[in-house]
Chain A
Amino acid sequence: MSEEILKLSCRELQRKIAKGEIKSSEAVSAVFTRIEKHDAQIGAFLSTFKQDALARAKEIDGKIAKGQSVGALAGVPIAVKDNMCTAFGATTCASKILENFHSPYNATVIDKLLAADAVIIGKTNLDEFAMGSSTENSGLKKTVNPWDKSRVPGGSSGGSAAAVAAQMCFAALGSDTGGSIRQPASLCGVAGLKPTYGRVSRYGLVAFGSSLDQIGPLTKDAADCALMLNVIAGHDEKDSTSVDEKTAPKCDYLAKIDEPVKGLKIAVVPELFQGADGEVVAAVKGAIELYKKSGAEIIEIKMPHFEYSVAAYYIIATAEASSNLARYDGVHYGYRTKKAGDYIEVYTKSRAEAFGPEVKRRIMIGTYALSSGYYDAYYLKALKVRNLIRSDFIAAFQKADCIMMPISPTTAFKIGEKMADPLQMYLLDVYTLAVNLAGVPGMSVPCGFDKNNLPIGLQIIGSTFQEEKLLRIAKMFENQTDFHKKKPQL
């Protein structure tokens, strides 16, 4: 029974729980049985809330037994990336500097999940402060890829992707600053959506690159992404950058998920396929071919500024990060050195002792980029490039409904393989960063496996606030394939 429950989608599980066919407590128990059996190896979770989750599940079961109405995620076990503040448990960002930090408040997305009667079962591992592409930069834990435990799950939402892939939860929240939802989703063979910047409130998401960060779901399929987006999207008066309902009203993303997009036009950028592994290219091209066979029109376009996205991103993201992370100083909360002689040393030693090497590297890059005398040459220029990249996307969406390309140039790589060369690691983000710079929504959908049986993801990029269409396009592919149904043998 337990194993059968785990195979269900969020939609199916919610429906069965709401009807009383399955108890939420059974689903939660099934998930914890799974976690207790496998997470010692996978390492997806930084913390779990078994007792609280079971108590909450019973509460929801009670509501249902009494015939009370329940929310869109009633009783569904959900995992949350540990850079979203929860008023329960710790919020660590996988950093020693926040290892014992307990937030007094819930992020808006957490409140929304709870309001939809979801059961939050635990918080997942990530690259420290979401800085990385393999989750190897976690200051607290190692996470492996459920498809091959010698390989990385991708990052930075590696814990969330691994937890969904290993069926240790039914869906998870991740955050995506430069690909951190889509890339681990791709490497772990699950669906991942980065919504348009402003679609989901960032209040309570520990900031990395504020103008790029966006929360989104990692799920078993596109329709579950739609369900999750239904719950978490919407204007939040606590986040000035969240879009107001007038400009871009949220809609029911599930309502028409099964309706194919008529006269679908797909843009591809041929040059962009050159940098990826052969098997990745073949799978992505195969996916595009399948759309074509179903009647979609494929349009070849150029995106002349796309290649500058790595350079622009690593200036803008690090500049914002250098400022966002200034608050972790050992004075007010979080880790404090025991060796300080004066207050300056509280800063310098606390930060030196508790930040990991990648975080330090990015703080230094960002500080340099914002320094007087360098600002114009780096930060200001990066902003200009960002505008050009944005205009590339605007031009593309005048011709097509979406753009398709790979997510990652390779499938999951070996743990430790790329840690020695940070630049090599940055270049892995070549396909994902532009989407954040432009603020548009992007998805990862499983579209094949390489010779090592490692998942490959198709990236579908939509126009600003057109998540509804994006999800329908993804669903069209899932309707004709079963890559998303394959599960790793743990």
Chain B
Amino acid sequence: MTNVDYKIIVGLEIHVQMAVRTKMFCGCELAFAAEPNSKVCPVCLGLPGALPVMNKKAVEFAILTATALGCKIAEFTKWDRKSYYYPDLPKNYQISQYDLPIGSNGFIEIPTKAGAKKIRIRRVHLEEDAGKNIHTAGPFSQVDLNRAGTPLMEIVTEPDLNSAEEVKMLAEELQRIVRFLGVSEADMQKGHMRFEPNVNLHIKKGGGEHKTPITEVKNLNSFKALEKSVAFEAQRQLDNFLESGEVMQSGNKKTFGWDDIKEVTVLQREKEEAHDYRYFPDPDLVPVVADKKWLKEINSKLCELPLKMQGRFVSGYGLSDYDAGVLTADKATAEFFDSSVKAGGDAKRVCNLITQKGLKIANEKNCKVSELGISPQRLAQLAKLADAGQISATSAVIIFEKMTESEDEPDKIAEKLNLIQKSDAGELEKIVDEVIAANAQAVEDAKSGDKKSKKAYGFLMGQVMQKSKGTANPQVVAKILAAKLKI
């Protein structure tokens, strides 16, 4: 690359499928991979005479999200028809929100290396999804309308993102937020989140700043594709500018798709068509008035956002950012951890138990850590046992697993399994003496101070542990052994 000073400018549109039971304007169930056209009714098929009825839960979820993102919530909002003809759109208009979105002027914080960065949110609104066109049946295309009418929340950021990495961070952060709020499963495999970045570059060259034409990449449904497509577009635009000098002007916005296999963007529309969607208020639906009482009810479901929680785990509990990130990937896990620490467990100990064993068992059982049958209080007790040296770290992990099967307190389990460590110096001294007497060569090696000494010391420790059937407190043993060997 030639040495050119430039800045990547990205604004992101994100569609999030809401975790509600039924479609946006009818009672049809939301179902993934169902028999084509099996989850449909006159309303989502757009049959003559059918009328939409708003899914209140979806609206509440959108309000909750917008509030969590610091948006101004519209006290009065309405539904608008967006007109365009496409076979997957049965009414040939989409019910959406035009000039009065549910939320506007919010922000989302992303954890960049330079610290948290605020990305402004332009708007949050709700709309219905279209169906799917299928082109696998010979000369004819088919339409599956199961997805038609699915509630989608569209979140639009300001162009505040300045790298492919930041774009990906925002997407991941948003995934974590909507999961924390419980408004979306945000399952990428099921297409619950779809991204459309708008990308261009501000290039400094010849004493001036040049803006490359904006390109929109449509319909990305993985973080990887999102990140790679933005990086690819940035490079493509830079190359194109250096070659042609083409800059942004009215009408030269282009639309691209993403080829997942070749990992390149593919031009879809050369010129942004002067699309006239003929928006107008949908006369079939009544406006939504968000009164204070309703908003209060909705906002009672607000919670600490993941990034804030993650920060608290680092600064308050001394966890590493990585560990705090693992714990706050899921709200139930994060809250379980938090409660366990508040119940008296050492934060690092609790974190290790959860991340080393808890998450694995939960994954196998297909549930949350908090659903394994261990209360935060019991986990705290377990952590305390380990901290007091009554059990070893290894034993703690074993006991953790047993605790998922038994309601016994951790110390009871430890006793039953004979995992309580012996810290009685007199008793342990006897064992150490026996081991020293039986292993003269190793004792000599250990004392020698050369290469062999470390290995020999380890061997003697092992012998003591073996003789005690693993119940000796290794710290106490180490002390005694060191004293006896005078090392």
A interface residue numbers (CB < 8 A to B): 84-85, 91, 93, 98, 101, 103-105, 107, 202-207, 209-211, 237-241, 319-320, 322-323, 326-327, 329, 331-333, 343, 347, 367, 370-372, 375, 379
Q: CB < 8 Å: which of B53, B141, B280 contacts A238? A: B53
Q: Can you list, as one digit per residue, whether each of B60-91 has a CB less than 8 Å from chain A (1) or not (0)?
A: 00000000000000000000010101010011
Chain B residues closer than 8 Å to A379, beta-carbon distance: 280
- Given the interface contacts A343-B141, A370-B280, does A326 sit within 8 Å of B53 by beta carbon? no
B92 is an interface residue with CB less than 8 A from chain A? yes
Alpha-carbon separation in the docked complex, A9 to B425 (Å):
109
Interface segment out of the listed B44-52, B240-248, B331-339: B44-52
Cα A320 to Cα B283 in complex, Å, equals 8
Interface 1/0s, chain B 270-299, versus A by CB < 8 A? 000000101110011110000000000000
For the complex, give the distance between the alpha carbons of A146 and B448 in Å: 125
Contact of B461 with A by CB under 8 A: no
Q: Chain B 290-322 against A: per-residue CB contact (8 Å), 1 yes, 0 no?
A: 000000000000000000000000000000000
Structural contact, A332 and B49, CB atoms closer than 8 A: no
B232 at the A interface (CB under 8 A): no
> Quick one: given A104-B42, A210-B284, are A203 and B50 in contact (CB under 8 Å)?
yes
Contact B286 A240 (CB under 8 A): yes
Interchain CB contact under 8 A, B53 and A323: no
- Taking a contact as CB atoms under 8 Å apart, the answer to whether A202 and B51 are in contact is yes
Given A105-B47, A206-B48, A323-B83, 17 further pairs, Cβ under 8 A: A85-B47, A101-B48, A107-B49, A202-B51, A203-B50, A207-B48, A207-B49, A211-B283, A240-B51, A240-B53, A323-B280, A327-B48, A332-B46, A333-B47, A370-B278, A370-B279, A375-B278
**Is the Cβ of A327 less than 8 Å from the Cβ of B92?**
yes
Q: Determine whether the beta carbon of B276 is less than 8 Å from that of A240.
A: no
Contact A237 B53 (CB under 8 A): yes
- Determine the distance from Cα of A322 to Cα of B276 in the docked complex, in whole angstroms: 14
Chain B residue with the shortest CB-CB distance to A242: B51
Q: Does B31 contact A (CB under 8 A)?
A: no
Give the distance in Å from the alpha carbon of A333 to the alpha carbon of B54 in the complex: 25
Q: Chain B: how many interface residues by the 8 Å CB criterion?
A: 29
| Complex interface bits, B445-470 against A, C-beta within 8 A gives 1, otherwise 0 | 00000000000000000000000000
Interface centre among A84, A205, A331, A367 (most CB of B within 10 A): A331
Q: Do A331 and B284 touch (CB < 8 A)?
A: no
Whether A240 contacts B280 by the Cβ 8 Å rule is no
In the complex, the chain B residue whose C-beta lies closest to that of A95 is B48
User: Which listed residue (A240, A241, A329) contacts B92, Cβ 8 A?
Assistant: A329
When distances are taken between beta carbons in the complex, the residues of chain B under 8 Å from A372 are 276, 278
5 A-B residue pairs with CB within 8 Å: A203-B50, A206-B49, A240-B285, A241-B51, A370-B83
Q: How far is the CA of A171 from the CA of B53 in the complex (A)?
A: 31
B93 at the interface (CB under 8 A from A): yes
In the complex, residue of chain B having the shortest beta-carbon distance to the beta carbon of A368: B278
B144 CB → nearest A CB, Å: 12
Q: Which of B85-130 contact A (CB under 8 A)?
A: 85, 87, 90-93
Whether B87 lies near A85 (C-beta < 8 A) is no
| A139 CB, nearest partner CB in chain B, Å | 15
CA distance A372 to B143 in the complex (A): 30
Chain B residues in 8 Å Cβ range of A320:
283
Residue of A nearest to B275 (CB): A372
A240 touches B52 (CB 8 A): yes
How many Å from the CB of B58 to the closest CB on chain A?
A: 15
Q: 8 smallest A-B Cβ distances: which pairs?
A: A326-B92, A211-B283, A210-B283, A370-B278, A204-B49, A206-B48, A85-B49, A327-B46
How distant is the Cα of A421 from the Cα of B297 in the complex, in angstroms?
A: 58
Q: List chain B residues, Cβ under 8 A from A202.
A: 49, 51
In this complex, what residue of B is CB-closest to A239? B51
Least distance between B79 CB and chain A CB atoms (Å): 10
Q: How far in angstroms is the closest Cβ of chain A from B342?
A: 46
- Complex Cα distance, B48 from A379, in Å, reads 24
Is B93 within 8 A of A323, CB to CB?
A: yes
Q: Assess whether B45 is in contact with A332, with CB atoms less than 8 Å apart.
A: yes
**A241-B286, A327-B92, A372-B276 as given contacts; A332 in contact with B143, CB under 8 Å:** yes
Cα of A422 to Cα of B11 in the assembled complex, Å: 50
Instruction: Give min CB distance, A321 to chain B, whole Å.
Output: 11
On whether the beta carbons of B286 and A104 are closer than 8 Å, the reply is no
Q: How far is the CA of A238 from the CA of B81 in the complex (A)?
A: 19
